[in-house]
A and B are shown apart, each in its own frame.
Chain A
Amino acid sequence: MTMARRMLVLVFALAVVLLVVAIVLSILRPRALSGYATAVPASTQAIDRGEYLARAGDCVACHTQPEGREFAGGRAMPTPFGNLYVPNITPDEETGIGSWTADEFYRMMHTGISRDGTLLYPAMPFASYTKVTRADSDAIYAYLMSVPPVRQKNRPHELRFPFNNRDLLIGWRTLYFNEGEYVSDPAQSAQWNRGAYLVQGLGHCAMCHTAINALGGSSESKAFEGGMIPNQNWYAPSLTSNREAGLGNWNIKEISDLLQVGTCNRGAVYGPMAEVVYNSLQYLSDDDAEAMAVYLKALPPHEAEPPPTNQARLVNPGVMETGRKLYAAQCAVCHGDEGKGQPPAFPPLAGNQSITMSSPVNSIRTVLNGGYAPGTRKNPRPYGMPPFAHVFDDNEVAAVVTYIRVAWGNGGTPVTPAETNELRKLLPQ
């Protein structure tokens, strides 16, 4: 045996010995008990996913006070029944949800029952969040546990009698709450199902776009048919009527842009929907925005009434002429002589459902207070409309809104100075 050969054998033997020692050690090393597994910090991936989903659910919009710390709650939520104060959902052990388990968080999301057994008021959209899968709920939980804890005590609600009695919620839940995760419809595409899951679940679109009755409930048979948003005095258009925001004539790109960009060739979001796009929908992936668009476009049309014939001839000619002159002077530079707009910068008014839909509230408020589309990742420098509350009196606002609702073949109805006056009394919001 040569020296070199002997060395080689030695090295080989040494390697074998080391390998055996490593195997033995690895077998002998104590293992973490399986019960400890959940205490291991959630992986970055799960937290990222949770952050994405928490945005899709727009948790931050309600659970953060203007200028307050993120998710620390305290924000007053005015309802027709009195003020609710949104709770702290940061992981502070004492004042937040820091000591909750993932099971307890899922039960709250899924059933609307809080950790201590309290029934939640349906201002928390658990009637939508019940559709969220356990895996998604766990991801949101992991994300919320990862944000900075904020010590801030929850403020008690200020609901009027009898609504301050939570036992009433048992009745509300019987009438309006259907518990259950989203069940895929095998007859539809995966994309449609993904869209349905987001719209019906985390997106909680029904909270505004399905009318709420005097008991604060909404009926499934009227899903997405639109309604006034309580206490905000904006009208959430029907998503099923082509006369409102029904999307029968829109292409998928226009719908997904409106959701994710905040503006498209047909119009821009404003009011409460601008907030939703700014805080939530702009962060959706292109795939998810498109899935929502596919689902929304496929909602079965449900016309409450036949579209009206054009009413331009029925409007008082003097009103029409005032409206036309004001439009030419103040509006046409952006929205065009024929109401075609300069989309997507300045939306068209001709054929724009949000102008012609039966409620004129949004058009009147926009003329009074103006508005900017939200600044989003895909449209960080949106165009905006100035307020005219100080330029036009009630008759002039009524005339110009009447004009844009009936001109160019638009199918809207005239509005009165009195309607304008009511909305002028409200603060812009």
Chain B
Amino acid sequence: MRTRTILRLLVAALTTAPATALSQEATVPAFRQLDSIEARVQGCVTCHGHNGQGAGNGIFPRIAAKPAGYLYNQLIAFRDGSRQYAPMNYLVAYLPDRYLHEMADYFASQRPPFPPREAVNVEAAILARGQALVTNGDASKAIPACVACHGSGLTGMNPGIPGLVGLRASYITAQLTRWRVNERHATEPDCMRRIASRLSDADVTAAAAWLAARDPPRDPSPESSNLVRMPFACGSQR
């Protein structure tokens, strides 16, 4: 099986045009053992990669090492329609809670290498604004720092707050925008809505650019849960 898989990956690399910045193998179906969670998540791999490393574009995000609780909440939201993205809504429509949890646990436990960081083409002033927002927030607009909840290394916090590492600027921008226009929600109290509603277009661009341009962390594991120090109450941390 192993050699066959490797052969297939080679064939794949030779026969299909590279569609993403990532190496092609990461998104071609392959697994070692039939009765395994690895084989069962083949439905995810052409977009998110074998180990959840993402497609390296702004559409299919890195999901590896994000907190299992966060991934599980997203899968449930896609299944039940409270988070709208037709390809995901369709794929997980008829999957039970326990199985979605197992999938979430699998990708949360993965530690694939990071893709090369994005070359963001913005002015230094914009990056500086982004850095300020992410690390310090903006007291004049009552915006807390991203690191206050997403962790000092921005690798997220268990159980429900996602890491912001290894994501593309366009993905981060799209998600923040969805929150601002009330298309994306989290469990009440929805702390992210409170924050997103205070961000301007320029703030979103700046934060997304700075996040995408950072070097990947040495340890992508999320921080452990620490409700006490969060600036806003978040339903997804309960």
Binding site for B on A (CB under 8 A): 66-67, 274-275, 277-278, 325-326, 328-334, 342, 345, 369-375, 380-391, 427-429
Contact segment of B5-13, B111-119, B204-212 = B5-13
User: In the complex, which of the residues A275, A328, A391 has the most CB atoms of chain B within 10 Å of its own CB atom?
Assistant: A391
Q: How large is the interface on B (under 10, 10 to 19, 20 to 34, 35 or more residues)?
A: 35 or more
With contacts A328-B11, A330-B28, A333-B31 taken as known, whether A383 is within 8 angstroms of B86 at the C-beta atoms is: no
Q: Out of B40, B44, B80, name the residue touching A67 (CB < 8 Å).
A: B80
B238 within 8 A of A: no
Q: Which of A67, A275, A384, A391 has a CB less than 8 Å from the CB of B42?
A: A384
Choose among B39, B47, B90 the residue with the greatest number of A CB atoms under 10 Å from its CB.
B90
Query: In the complex the two chains form, is B99's CB within 8 Å of A334's CB?
Result: no
Residue of B nearest to A276 (CB): B94
The CA-CA distance from A238 to B89 in the complex, in Å, is: 28
Give a binary string over B29-73; 1 marks a CB under 8 Å from any A CB, 0 the rest: 111001100011111111100000000000100000000000000
Is A383 a contact of B29 with CB atoms below 8 Å? Answer: no
Closest-CB distance, A1 to chain B (whole angstroms): 76
Known: A326-B15, A372-B92, A383-B39. A333 touches B47 (CB 8 A): no
Q: CB distance A278 to B19 under 8 Å?
A: no
One of A342, A372, A387 near B94 (C-beta < 8 A): A372
Report the nearest A residue to B97, measured CB to CB: A375
Query: Contacts A329-B12, A332-B8 given: A382-B86 contact, CB under 8 Å?
Result: no
Per a CB cutoff under 8 Å, which of B5, B87, B95, B98 touches A369? B87
Q: Which residues of A contact B43 (CB under 8 A)?
A: 370-372, 383-386
CA distance A369 to B86 in the complex (A): 10
The verdict on A383 contacting B91 (CB below 8 Å), with A329-B8, A390-B47 known, is no
CB distance from A8 to the nearest CB of B (A): 66
Cβ A386 vs Cβ B94 within 8 A: no
How many pairs, one residue from A and one from B, have CB atoms within 8 Å of each other in the complex? Answer: 117
Expressed in whole angstroms, the Cα–Cα distance for A375 and B86 within the complex equals: 19
Question: CA A333 – CA B8 in complex, angstroms?
Answer: 7
Q: Which residues of A contact B80 (CB under 8 A)?
A: 66-67
Residues of chain A within 8 A of B34, CB atoms compared: 342, 345
The docked-state distance in angstroms from the alpha carbon of A429 to that of B30 is 26
Question: Do residues B15 and A329 form an inter-chain contact, with CB atoms below 8 A?
Answer: yes
Set A67, A329, A371, A375: member contacting B91, Cβ < 8 A: A371
B16 CB-CB contact with A under 8 Å: yes
Residue pair A384, B91 in contact (C-beta under 8 Å): yes
Given contact pairs A384-B42, A388-B46, a sample of 14 additional A-B residue pairs in the complex whose CB atoms are under 8 Å apart? A67-B80, A274-B93, A325-B15, A369-B87, A369-B91, A372-B94, A374-B94, A383-B43, A385-B43, A386-B47, A387-B46, A391-B27, A427-B86, A428-B86
Q: Contact at B30–A333, with CB atoms within 8 Å?
A: yes
* Chain B residues with CB under 8 A of A345: 34-35, 39
Bound CA span A371–B87, Å: 9
A428 and B8 CA atoms in complex are apart in Å by 28
Kindly state the separation between the CA atoms of A332 and B1 in the bound complex, as whole angstroms.
12
Interface residue B187 (Cβ < 8 Å from any Cβ of A): no
Q: Answer whether residue B82 sits at the interface, using C-beta atoms and an 8 A cutoff.
A: yes
B46: A residues at CB distance < 8 A? 370, 386-388, 390-391
Taking the nearest CB of chain A, how far is it from the CB of B82, in angstroms? 6
Q: Are B90 and A428 in contact (CB under 8 A)?
A: yes
7 tightest Cβ-Cβ pairs between the two chains A and B? A384-B43, A428-B90, A374-B94, A386-B46, A278-B94, A329-B12, A66-B81
| A334, B5: Cα distance in complex, Å | 10
